Chain A
Amino acid sequence: MAESMKIAGYSAVALTLPTGLLQDRVVFIRHIFTSAGIETVLRTDLAPTSRTELLRLLRRYRSLCDVVAVKCTNEATARVACRDRRVDVVFFDPRNHKVRFNHSLAGLLRGAVEFNLIAALQGQTNSNFISRTSKEMGISSEHKNRVVLSSGCTSPEMTRAPSQIAAIADALGLSLEQSRLGVSKVPEGIILRNLDRRSREYIEEGVKVILSKAR
């Protein structure tokens, strides 16, 4: 997998690992990617069923992971996830008809919305999925939301180059500029901001410790 990611031209990947995984195992998996020349960041995908569960999970996992993504399973959690600034990325299951990315959620969104293209498109290319994704991309363009395009790959056969993912999003209706930003600047910005937040010098937004060089 690390090899195919390297061929595809990735310089950093966000690894979604089970939260209960032993630390040694996490270090080993990260080492595989690092030895292939790919930087890794830890990502957690939260799938809460209620607002209170989401808030509890955020309190628990925000400080442990570099990127926090929330899978919106219903309207109530989607509203809180879109509004909460601790959430970096929200995403929607295309097979879940209870909730979808609409104008009101787009207006509330503080983080970024993620479209998981490859995992969703492979094997089940129905017109409903394409029209839904296309519509959601149109909404995010209209509200100028930050968009993250993810390969969502779980095996080497699902790896695609960033330019291919951007081209698929472009074909689905996202502007070419937004598609390119979605595989480069936007995810990079999220990672850099969170690494900065987790550094020892960080106090709060806009405040950080700067050591005097004169001493």
Chain B
Amino acid sequence: MTVTRRYFLVKIVPQQPVSEEQFGRALTDSVRRYFGEIGLCRIDPRLIRFDEKESRAVVSCRKEGAGEMEAAIGLISDVSGLAIAPITLKMSGTIKGLGRRH
């Protein structure tokens, strides 16, 4: 069975020196904290790309958990003690679609 996924373009404001690993861990922790282990399996969050210079990330999840994924991104308040605001700029069904406007 094919798993359909949704992709989010996330901008980190203000620009902070956050590494890919740190952001990926914060993302998984946020999903686990608010939706539990079962939610983590159902949402299946993945950090696809991370641009440290631009402070942008592409995050994916299963289509069924897109709303919960967006909420979990919004609930990340800090990464390793640094206060950040991960703002979802766009959601798309393809990675290519994310680049069309932003």
Interface residues of A (CB under 8 A from B): 4, 7-9, 118, 121-123, 125, 155-161, 163-165, 167-168, 170-171, 176
A55 CB, nearest partner CB in chain B, Å: 38
**With known contacts A4-B87, A121-B75, A123-B77, A167–B11 Cβ distance under 8 A:** no
Contacts of A7 in B (CB 8 A): 11, 13, 87, 89
Interface of A is mostly: helix
Contacts of A160 in B (CB 8 A): 74, 85, 87
B97 contacts the other chain (Cβ, under 8 Å)?
no
Bound-state Cα–Cα, A165 to B71, Å:
7
B28 contacts the other chain (Cβ, under 8 Å)?
no
Most chain A beta-carbon neighbours within 10 Å: one of B71, B87, B89 = B71
**With known contacts A170-B67, A171-B68, A157–B14 Cβ distance under 8 A:** yes
Bound-state Cα–Cα, A118 to B71, Å:
11
B20 contacts the other chain (Cβ, under 8 Å)?
no
Report B86-102 residues with CB < 8 Å from chain A CB: 87-89, 91
List 18 extra interface pairs beyond A4-B85, A125-B33, A156-B14, CB under 8 A: A4-B13, A4-B14, A7-B87, A7-B89, A8-B87, A118-B74, A121-B75, A156-B13, A158-B77, A159-B87, A163-B70, A164-B87, A165-B74, A168-B74, A168-B75, A171-B67, A171-B68, A176-B67
**With known contacts A122-B77, A168-B74, A171-B67, A163–B88 Cβ distance under 8 A:** yes
Report B3-50 residues with CB < 8 Å from chain A CB: 11, 13-14, 33-35
Bound-state Cα–Cα, A8 to B77, Å:
15
Interface residues of B (CB under 8 A from A): 11, 13-14, 33-35, 67-68, 70-71, 73-75, 77, 83-85, 87-89, 91
**Smallest CB gap from B70: residue in A:** A167
Interface of B is mostly: mixed
Check A161 against B71 for contact (C-beta < 8 Å): no
Listed A/B pairs (13) with beta-carbon separation below 8 Å: A4-B85, A7-B13, A8-B13, A157-B84, A159-B13, A159-B85, A161-B88, A165-B74, A167-B71, A167-B74, A170-B67, A170-B71, A171-B34
Bound-state Cα–Cα, A118 to B34, Å:
14
A171 CB, nearest partner CB in chain B, Å: 4
Check A157 against B77 for contact (C-beta < 8 Å): yes
A84 CB, nearest partner CB in chain B, Å: 33
Contacts of A165 in B (CB 8 A): 74
Check A164 against B14 for contact (C-beta < 8 Å): no
Bound-state Cα–Cα, A47 to B71, Å:
30
Contacts of B13 in A (CB 8 A): 4, 7-8, 156-157, 159
Contacts of B85 in A (CB 8 A): 4, 156-160
Contacts of A156 in B (CB 8 A): 13-14, 85
